[in-house]
Structure 1
Amino acid sequence: MSYDNLAGRTAVVTGAASGIGEAVAVLLAARGARVALLARRAERLTALAGKIRADGGQALAVVADVTDERSVADAADRVHAEFGTVDLVVNSAGVMLPHPVDARRADEWQRMLDTNVTGVLRMIGVFTGDLVGAAADGRTADIVNISSIAAHVSFPNYAVYGATKAAVTYLSEALRTEFGPRDVRVTNIEPGIVESELRTHISDAELARQVEGIVEAVGALSAEELADLVAYAASRPRRVNLRQIIALPTRQA
């Protein structure tokens, strides 16, 4: 499997401090892309950037909060100053905070909406000029959004999380009508159960036990396996857009 046309590209990956985002950043850098690592945890970003550089890759640690407009704008300025024009944006930042709706955890609803939906919009908005410009110059340009199988499959206590991921899936589809005619690809990836920090976001002990039981029964994809899908989609010939990928552990129904 060839990833040759990732070499020389400039990528921004959100949620890069852990999980899928971290794995994506490591793989893209290993395949020759310059990678800007965006997340809130400075220490983890710095360590990851150091690891990538030690392995011969190019990485820039940028502390940013996708829920804050000013933070995203400042991050874009830093990326432009260090790396120039971006041609690959991977929206991997996300939070999963399950509770029954009648628990009325409005603070958690807002956090999921701000991160999972509005954060994606902020990142796309701030780099739209880069992506459209890169495509106009004949280069490959990609937006890759990490959604979830929860966009389609309902799970008790995950209504708001699922709704945010359904929004990302619809957004990805609609964005193709806006960006596709300008040669910018949009890929939506919907993982099932994945080994990631999302599971640690679950504060309810019973819900946490339920998730662990499901993982024991059907297994979980690794973050590296999801990263491989991101790299594969972004490395196809520029006329090929893998618009929708659903990736589940084999035993997950």
Structure 2
Amino acid sequence: MTVTSYPELAGRTAVVTGAASGMGEATARLLAAGGARVALLARRADRLTELAEKITRDGGQALVVPVDVTDQAAVDAAAAQVRTAFGQVDLVVNAAGVMLPNPMADGRSDEWSRMIDTNLTGVLRVINAFRSDLVAAAAEGRTADLVNVSSIGAHLTFPNFAVYSATKAALTHLSAVLRGEFGPLDVRVTNIEPGLTETELGDHIDNAEISAMVDGMLAAIPPLTSEDIADLIGWTTSRRRGVNLRQAIILPTRQA
């Protein structure tokens, strides 16, 4: 699929988590196509290297930064690596996430911890690691953006998705509250809530019944693509600095 380009992004320095696949990968490609320097953060170094090579071949700039957002020391080290290579960051996209649905009665506390630590605490680690960069960039009169990728699951109820939805609801509320702290400092905060989207998230489901349900939804409703989400992020972050799209819910046309 052709990558949309937003030339207004030229010269910016971006960090994208979850860049090894899906929405994170598509967003990194789009930002780079617009002329931003992009730091690619994710656990799978091989996938990041492939993406960086594609971006470079297309004339963009990318930095491979293998990191697990559930590891505080790794996030801190990643932030230092990004600053050394690219300098001050003015755009952060939190796209890393994991979806592990199962009935609450199964008591899968390992999955609960993994989702909370990735989808919520991991986001907090990344925000804290680059908060000073965003604030400083805005103080210098530059555009500064924090974009969090939540989910329509923050609002709608799906059986067996209780913990996943709870993490996304927390992320949505976190984003809203942060507007009160960052907005007066001219740092924009945007919360994106995608509906049914074709990504790798569904591949991690180990419950056959739930997996079949998700497959059925994908067959009945033409899903969004990762590029659709990236395009929304690109459009949002390319607005003039005095405009903040605070909340965006993006759904396939057929999803109620």
TM-score (norm 2): 0.98
2:68 pairs with one of 65, 68, 84: 65
TM superposition shift of 1:219: 1.4
1:223 pairs with one of 208, 223, 226: 226
Quickly say closer, same or farther: Cα 1:67–1:8, change in 2 above 3 A.
Answer: same
Structure 1 segment 77-156 matched on structure 2, within 5 A? 77-156=80-159
Query: Contact 2:5 / 2:33 at 8 angstroms: preserved in 1?
Result: no
Query: CA separation in 2, counterparts of 1:5 and 1:64?
Result: 29
Match of 1:159 in 2: 162
TM superposition shift of 1:2: 8.0
Please give the secondary structure, in 1, of the residue aligned with 2:14. Answer: strand
Structure 1 segment 1-253 matched on structure 2, within 5 A? 3-253=6-256
Query: CA separation in 1, counterparts of 2:31 and 2:111?
Result: 32
Query: CA separation in 2, counterparts of 1:227 and 1:195?
Result: 13
TM superposition shift of 1:144: 0.3
TM superposition shift of 1:206: 1.1
Deviations 1:159-194 (A, max 9, x none): 000000000000000000000000000000000011
Deviations 1:219-249 (A, max 9, x none): 1100001100000110000000000000000
TM superposition shift of 1:149: 0.2
Query: CA separation in 2, counterparts of 1:52 and 1:138?
Result: 28
Query: CA separation in 2, counterparts of 1:190 and 1:219?
Result: 17
Query: CA separation in 1, counterparts of 2:251 and 2:52?
Result: 29
Query: Contact 2:5 / 2:31 at 8 angstroms: preserved in 1?
Result: no
Please give the secondary structure, in 1, of the residue aligned with 2:242. Answer: coil
Deviations 1:9-38 (A, max 9, x none): 000000000000000000000000000000
Query: Contact 2:5 / 2:34 at 8 angstroms: preserved in 1?
Result: no
TM superposition shift of 1:201: 1.1
Query: CA separation in 1, counterparts of 2:147 and 2:105?
Result: 33
Query: CA separation in 2, counterparts of 1:210 and 1:3?
Result: 37
Please give the secondary structure, in 1, of the residue aligned with 2:30. Answer: helix
Please give the secondary structure, in 2, of the residue aligned with 1:171. Answer: helix
Query: CA separation in 1, counterparts of 2:119 and 2:161?
Result: 14
Query: CA separation in 2, counterparts of 1:192 and 1:172?
Result: 18
Query: CA separation in 1, counterparts of 2:250 and 2:202?
Result: 18
Please give the secondary structure, in 1, of the residue aligned with 2:54. Answer: helix
Query: CA separation in 2, counterparts of 1:25 and 1:18?
Result: 10
Unaligned 5+ residue runs, structure 2? none
Deviations 1:62-107 (A, max 9, x none): 0000000000000001000000000000000000000011110000
Aligned positions, number: 253
Unaligned 5+ residue runs, structure 1? none
Query: Contact 2:191 / 2:247 at 8 angstroms: preserved in 1?
Result: yes
Give the aligned residue type for 2:202: R
TM-score (norm 1): 0.99
Q: Percent identity between the aligned chains?
A: 66
Quickly say closer, same or farther: Cα 1:244–1:123, change in 2 above 3 A.
Answer: same
